[in-house]
Chains A and B, each alone.
Chain A
């Protein structure tokens, strides 16, 4: 079972992708909120604290990259979904502090694992004590 305390926002307009990921994440114990467009996603981000936001780069209303740009780095962390072969989007996403990026088609189990490790890694990073200087 996942130790996720905060819900995951799926900002995906592509319904089959959202259906699959929602199913896999719920099976791992996560709470999922869905937003089919950028405006609704932004509203959710303003209203709720999310453990991860999974956003499509081609999201209508506001693209995944625009959503990412509108929040402070890693608050919440973003995992972006784009189309294969779009290198420039990948570079832009990481330049804008996206946590991860995957493309369609994808293996649902692997992507689910990558999404769920984000809050785990972040909490490990914040909990780790700062090493004492010699």
Chain B
């Protein structure tokens, strides 16, 4: 007997409905997954395509920048071909060359960047600190002294990242007149390596040395600022600062040595590079300082300024100093002053530092 069906749908029981719903749901989910997969694949292909296009564009710009720097192409001929919306990418391609060249070529780089710098300058007022920091960096690397006024205003920025970039940039495009202004900002950057800052401050040139000397000797300045100044003066090879450093070390022997060991270490580094044999007795006193890194810098300075009579003192540090770094520094200095005997003897002994002496003598003998 056939069932009486008023509608073909009546053949489905509630269980069949559930199965149909599940099938439809699975189908929809599968379709969604396929859509997502297609989207992911499309994005990947698009991203690879964009990367390839950008790489080709960058290589093209690289070649043209080199041609412009060689004088075979006018800067304007290249800048006219750069689409306005890609100015940021062009400046990114230009920036590595700005760190490489000097003199006349540096001016060519500035000419290549000049048409785009007003747009960069507009980014100085962005709400995002990253955008401001990047703008500051671009102005410092690609701009000239005419950008200094805009950069000076950025020294008061609320973001330490922007201030740090501004110090680097203003030191490049500014002049000695900006030295005091830059030193005033340094306490905000105490988290930065002083040598990193001094490598930029050195761009201020010899004319900034008197300001640096005064700041280095100033007890009222934070130790971080004094360290930055000592490192900058060392990089500037400012021989006039040697007398100030020696005077400070003489005066600080008992007072500051415990308070500002990092300043002391910087002054010793300055003496090591620019001092003379007459500073030997002063340096020797610091070989017994409580801070190990002060002893290390004193021992290393003796490598340059010491005499064969320092063999006993340096040998004692190699054999007996509690810090392995001090021992290593003293051993290197022994080699530099030409006193190898204590190291040769140490190598043959059953001593914890015998391996250190052996390693150093190995490279010396080669």
Stretch at the interface among A10-18, A40-48, A114-122, A123-131: A10-18
Cβ-based interface call for B202 (8 A): yes
| A12 CB → nearest B CB, Å | 10
Cβ-based interface call for A3 (8 A): no
Contact with A along B67-106 (1 / 0, CB 8 A): 1011000000000000000000000000011011111111
Q: How far is the CA of A47 from the CA of B107 in the complex (A)?
A: 40
Q: B70, A27: Cβ atoms under 8 Å?
A: yes
Q: How far is the CA of A19 from the CA of B96 in the complex (A)?
A: 11
Q: A105-B101, A106-B100 are in contact. Are A85 and B202 (CB under 8 A)?
A: yes
Q: A17-B100, A85-B235 are in contact. Are A105 and B106 (CB under 8 A)?
A: yes
Q: A16-B97, A20-B97 are in contact. Are A107 and B70 (CB under 8 A)?
A: no
Near A by CB (< 8 A), chain B positions 102-126 give 102-106
Q: Which residues of A contact B105 (CB under 8 A)?
A: 107-108
Q: Which residues of B contact A14 (CB under 8 A)?
A: 96, 100
| A110 CB → nearest B CB, Å | 9
| Interface Cβ pair total, 8 Å cutoff | 49
Q: How far is the CA of A96 from the CA of B272 in the complex (A)?
A: 22
Cβ-based interface call for B292 (8 A): no
Output the nearest chain B residue to A96 by Cβ-Cβ distance. Answer: B366
The A interface, classified by DSSP as helix, strand, loop or mixed, is helix
| A96 CB → nearest B CB, Å | 10
Q: Which residues of B contact A104 (CB under 8 A)?
A: 99-100
Near B by CB (< 8 A), chain A positions 44-87 give 69, 84-85, 87
Q: Which residues of A contact B100 (CB under 8 A)?
A: 14, 16-17, 20, 104-106
| B95 CB → nearest A CB, Å | 9
Q: How far is the CA of A84 from the CA of B202 in the complex (A)?
A: 10
Known: A84-B199, A84-B235, A105-B102. 8 other contacts (CB 8 A): A14-B96, A16-B62, A16-B99, A16-B100, A19-B62, A20-B97, A20-B100, A107-B102
Contact surface of B with A, Cβ cutoff 8 Å: 62, 66-67, 69-70, 96-97, 99-106, 199, 202, 235, 273, 366
